[in-house]
């Protein structure tokens, strides 16, 4: 007895704390402690003059902290680990791969409520029985796909389910989930955005009843913690959520599904820049469970992995309700003039479809009235004083608003440079809505963008109008295009195809193709054949014609080749080092120093490019610059990143520069 106590006394607890320091912190076990220390338990510790709550990440007997400075922890909070071993391993991997402080990774993984010294009481599983909908009889193609799916799962392969919209991918998810549930295994389903969740949640709940839980932004902190704990105890069978749900602990996880795996919103764009999809793949590997990635427009990375045989691809080509894919018409803006963004040709088509009692959807990924205002005297385009971007005109409140930093001011209709009259330039959804109202005064128009939707309630109300068919013309940004099934929709219009197709990022055309396919897939899902219209100044563009005439996969085969010579992903792996400061010089001094240090370490085949100013150089008053690291070999890239990060962290900073690392960036701006 005496000896074990003494042993315990000498233990060093390695604690992860939510502070921006890339270290574990060593503590002795608390005096008067009666709890056996285990990895994953919460612990309260002294930290400077404060107290903090962290997690026991490791337990050892060695420390570099001198005995005089080594403090005892205050209290081990949990009898049993809050973070189970599986999640602990995942957290370690994430901290390592994204070069991010481990304590902050815990803060992403564990709900806020549980990071305090609180634990909600969990009710036992509700026992009320539920009349569940039975499975649909699979079509021939689905049946074939399902058989393959199960055999790939048995071989522990990563499966990419590449199926056109309406081909019944979700039905295959449901039926494979059923097999897991029958084996008493849990399932995690990741979806890109909360807007998609209600629909997929309903379908899962109809099939499996109240054993399905959804994590969404409408949950209170406490509810989130409850779902998290229930999953850990095995009291919910299916968890549906967005990217952070990848950190849900499970008692017995049997499968992960990532729906719309290509969607950029799986990537967190600030702080810990992790990819929910990629972390899910690692999780499946660590836990030795199957993972299914589904999309009608898979990312180039995933298609390439399938091509190389790293993933197994299953293709569904037919729609369940054998409606053919819609016809696409290109409207050449060089020939057809537009007024307020709409050509006569397009207006005529809209009229025809709504007169037939069908619905029409117009897609434009720009909110506001005009993306810019221009001076008639000197040509000055009104800019945000804090960013390198134009101010967007919103007529609703007659203000010019910066969409990057939210700086705004009244619209005076005068140029700030020379005082001449200034006028709107280009169209946003707000203007298109007004133009449509003028043209179709009796039609009911539903506009969905971030200006009309700022609560869940509003979103539900507008979506209900759209789905029930009371809304005849649906108009919106990305928000409207994803995942929704509008039964009466027979026509889709892409108001400005050039805007997406010719962006500066090497992924612009991929993103455009995905949006195009997703949005045109909304037309004519049931009775009628749909029509798609696309307004462009570049009707002859070969890639555009490729997607339209031969579809997404043919487009991939051709578009991906453009990335081969410059070695963009999927032919390489990237990491982007960002730096920002109020002083432009400081940014470049810092990046040049890093560059020198980088050149001094053995870079091997890793290319170190830059420093260059970021595509949007000034944002919210900060100057921004970047260094890009690129290697065809991921391991090699990470070997360099390890060294480089270590060097930066151990260099005394002379000026106020904030830096961050984005591993596998999806946006270089």
Q: Which residues bind Zn ion (CB under 5 A)?
A: 375, 377-378, 380, 384, 386-387, 402, 404-405, 407, 415, 417-418, 420
Q: Which is nearer to Zn ion, 380 or 506 (CB)?
A: 380
List interacting residues with ligand ADP (CB under 6 A). 136-139, 142, 163, 165-171, 320
- Print burial letters for 573-606: b (CB count within 10 Å at least 16), e (below 16): bbbbbbbbbeeeebbbbbbebbbeebeebebeeb
Task: Write down the least CB distance from residue 207 to ligand ADP, Å.
Answer: 10
Cα separation of 311 and 305, whole Å? 6
Question: Per DSSP, what are the bridge partners of residue 383?
Answer: 390
Cα separation of 512 and 500, whole Å? 5
Q: Which is nearer to ligand ADP, 515 or 536 (CB)?
A: 515
List the single partner that 139 binds among ligand ADP, Zn ion, none, CB under 5 to 8 Å by kind: ligand ADP
Cα separation of 319 and 527, whole Å? 12
Task: Write down the least CB distance from residue 367 to ligand ADP, Å.
Answer: 27
Q: Which is nearer to ligand ADP, 138 or 434 (CB)?
A: 138
Q: Which is nearer to ligand ADP, 136 or 438 (CB)?
A: 136
Q: Which is nearer to ligand ADP, 170 or 580 (CB)?
A: 170
Cα separation of 301 and 664, whole Å? 11
Cα separation of 179 and 520, whole Å? 33
Task: Write down the least CB distance from residue 197 to ligand ADP, Å.
Answer: 14
Cα separation of 434 and 277, whole Å? 39
Task: Write down the least CB distance from residue 645 to Zn ion, Å.
Answer: 30
Cα separation of 538 and 500, whole Å? 12
Q: Which is nearer to Zn ion, 420 or 444 (CB)?
A: 420
Question: Per DSSP, what are the bridge partners of residue 370?
Answer: 393
List the single partner that 387 binds among Zn ion, ligand ADP, none, CB under 5 to 8 Å by kind: Zn ion
List the single partner that 375 binds among ligand ADP, Zn ion, none, CB under 5 to 8 Å by kind: Zn ion
DSSP character at residue 556:
H
Q: Which is nearer to Zn ion, 269 or 420 (CB)?
A: 420
Measured N-to-C along each axis, helices 140-154 and 169-182 cross at an angle, to the nearest 10 degrees, of 50
Q: Is 289 helix (H, G, I), strand (E, B) or coil?
A: coil
List the single partner that 138 binds among Zn ion, ligand ADP, none, CB under 5 to 8 Å by kind: ligand ADP
Task: Write down the least CB distance from residue 316 to ligand ADP, Å.
Answer: 7
Q: Is 238 helix (H, G, I), strand (E, B) or coil?
A: strand
Q: Which is nearer to ligand ADP, 518 or 541 (CB)?
A: 518
Task: Write down the least CB distance from residue 515 to ligand ADP, Å.
Answer: 16
Task: Write down the least CB distance from residue 378 to Zn ion, Å.
Answer: 3
Task: Write down the least CB distance from residue 145 to ligand ADP, Å.
Answer: 11
List the single partner that 162 binds among ligand ADP, Zn ion, none, CB under 5 to 8 Å by kind: none
Tell me if 667 sits within 8 A of 269, measured CB to CB: yes
Backbone angles phi, psi at 163, to 5 degrees: -135, 135
The C-alpha angle 297, 300, 306, rounded to 5 degrees, equals 90
């Amino acid at each position: 007895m005496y000896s074990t106590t003494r042993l315990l006394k000498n233990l060093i607890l390695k604690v992860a704390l939510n502070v921006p320091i890339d270290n574990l912190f060593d503590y002795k076990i608390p005096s008067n402690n009666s709890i056996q220390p285990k990895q994953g338990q919460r612990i309260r510790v002294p930290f400077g003059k404060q107290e903090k709550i962290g997690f026991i990440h490791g337990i050892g007997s060695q420390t570099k902290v001198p005995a005089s400075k080594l403090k005892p922890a205050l209290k081990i909070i949990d009898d049993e680990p809050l973070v189970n071993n599986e999640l602990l391993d995942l957290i370690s991997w994430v901290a390592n791969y994204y070069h991010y402080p481990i304590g902050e990774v815990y803060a992403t993984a564990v709900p806020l409520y549980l990071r305090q010294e609180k634990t909600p009481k969990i009710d036992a599983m509700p026992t009320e029985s539920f009349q569940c909908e039975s499975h649909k009889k699979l079509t021939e193609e689905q049946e074939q796909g399902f058989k393959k799916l199960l055999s790939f799962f048995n071989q522990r392969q990563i499966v990419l389910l590449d199926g056109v919209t309406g081909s019944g991918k979700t039905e295959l998810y449901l039926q494979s989930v059923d097999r897991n549930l029958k084996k008493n295994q849990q399932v995690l389903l990741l979806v890109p955005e909360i807007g998609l969740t209600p629909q997929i949640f309903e379908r899962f709940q109809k099939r499996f009843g109240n054993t399905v839980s959804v994590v969404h932004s409408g949950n209170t902190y406490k509810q989130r913690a409850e779902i998290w704990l229930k999953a850990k105890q095995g009291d919910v069978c299916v968890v549906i959520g967005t990217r952070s749900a990848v950190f849900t602990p499970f008692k017995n996880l049997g499968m992960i599904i990532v729906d719309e795996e290509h969607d950029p919103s799986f990537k967190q764009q600030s702080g810990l820049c992790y990819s929910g999809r990629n972390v899910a793949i690692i999780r499946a590997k660590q836990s030795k469970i199957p993972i299914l990635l589904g999309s009608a427009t898979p990312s180039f990375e995933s298609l390439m992995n399938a091509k190389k045989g790293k993933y197994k691809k299953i293709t569904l080509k037919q729609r369940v309700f054998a409606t053919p894919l819609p016809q696409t018409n290109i409207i050449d803006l060089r020939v057809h003039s537009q007024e307020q963004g709409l050509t006569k040709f397009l207006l005529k088509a809209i009229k025809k479809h709504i007169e037939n009692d069908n619905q029409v959807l117009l897609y434009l990924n720009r909110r506001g009235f005009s993306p810019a205002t221009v001076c008639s005297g000197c040509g000055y385009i009104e800019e945000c004083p804090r960013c390198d971007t134009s101010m967007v005109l919103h007529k609703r409140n007659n203000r010019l608003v910066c969409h990057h930093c939210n700086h705004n001011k009244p619209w005076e209709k005068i140029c700030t440079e020379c005082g001449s009259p200034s006028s709107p330039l280009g169209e946003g959804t707000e203007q298109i809505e007004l133009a449509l109202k003028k043209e179709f005064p009796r039609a009911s128009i539903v506009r969905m963008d971030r200006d009309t939707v700022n609560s869940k309630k509003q979103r539900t109300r507008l979506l209900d109008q759209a789905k029930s068919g009371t809304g005849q013309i649906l108009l919106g940004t990305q928000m409207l295009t994803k995942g929704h099934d509008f039964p009466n929709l027979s026509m889709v219009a892409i108001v400005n195809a050039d805007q997406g197709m010719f962006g500066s990022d090497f992924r612009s055309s991929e993103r455009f193709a995905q949006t195009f396919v997703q949005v045109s897939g909304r037309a004519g899902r049931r009775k009628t054949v749909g029509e798609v219209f696309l307004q462009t100044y570049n009707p002859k563009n070969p890639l555009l014609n490729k997607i339209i005439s031969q579809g997404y996969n043919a487009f991939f085969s051709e578009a991906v080749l453009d990335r081969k010579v410059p070695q963009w992903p999927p032919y390489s792996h990237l990491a982007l080092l960002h730096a920002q400061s109020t002083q432009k010089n400081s940014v470049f001094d810092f990046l040049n120093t890093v560059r020198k240090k980088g050149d001094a370490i053995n870079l091997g085949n890793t290319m170190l490019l830059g420093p260059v100013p970021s595509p949007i150089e000034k944002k919210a008053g900060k100057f921004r610059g970047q260094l890009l690291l690129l290697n065809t070999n991921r391991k090699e890239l990470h070997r360099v990143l390890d060294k480089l990060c270590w060097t930066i962290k151990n260099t005394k900073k002379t000026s106020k520069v904030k830096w961050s690392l984005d591993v596998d960036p999806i946006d270089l701006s």
